[in-house]
Amino acid sequence: MRSDCYVPFMDFNAIANSFVGHYFNTFDNYDARDSLASLYRPESMLTWEGNQTQGANNIVAQLKKPELKVVKTQIASTDSQPGLGGSVVALVAGTLALDNAFDKPMQFTQAFNLAPIPGQPGGFFIYNQIFRLIFG
């Protein structure tokens, strides 16, 4: 193998699991949710139930809509894979309860494409994020 083709080992599962824990713990705390802005960049895109939003400020505004003020998520699974250019793809499945309606949890799935931050070894930002409720 040519040395210029060597890709250092990346524990993409550990990266995805660490990210998912941090993201959802922060998301569940409405007052802390603004800090999620640090995970996005101007080119980041969120698709939330079919509505697309781009850029950190716009994405956080979407995540802080009044109907999402009281949210409690429970993660059932996180699957991950290495992506192109050192990125990590994570697919999360779980439930969320709105307004403390814990007796009526809704199933959701959310996909993240975590891209390396240029010039910051080991750092990642959310390049793509897709959220869908599952009805059935």
Whole-number pLDDT of residue 9: 60
CA neighbor of 12 nearest in space, from 108, 131, 114, 99: 114
Whole-number pLDDT of residue 8: 53
Do residues 59 and 53 touch, judged by C-beta distance below 8 A? yes
Whole-number pLDDT of residue 1: 37
CA separation for the pair 101, 120 (Å, rounded): 41
Going by C-beta distance under 8 Å and a sequence separation of 6 or more, which residues neighbour residue 22? none
Do residues 61 and 48 touch, judged by C-beta distance below 8 A? no
Whole-number pLDDT of residue 10: 72
Do residues 25 and 33 touch, judged by C-beta distance below 8 A? no
Do residues 44 and 55 touch, judged by C-beta distance below 8 A? yes
Looking at the DSSP assignment, which residues form a beta bridge with residue 107?
95, 134
Task: Set out the domains of the chain in order of their start, with CATH numbers.
Answer: 9-134 (3.10.450.50)
Whole-number pLDDT of residue 135: 87
CA separation for the pair 122, 19 (Å, rounded): 12
Mean pLDDT by 10 residues, the chain (136 residues): 47 95 97 97 97 97 94 97 94 94 91 95 95 90
Whole-number pLDDT of residue 114: 98
Whole-number pLDDT of residue 7: 45
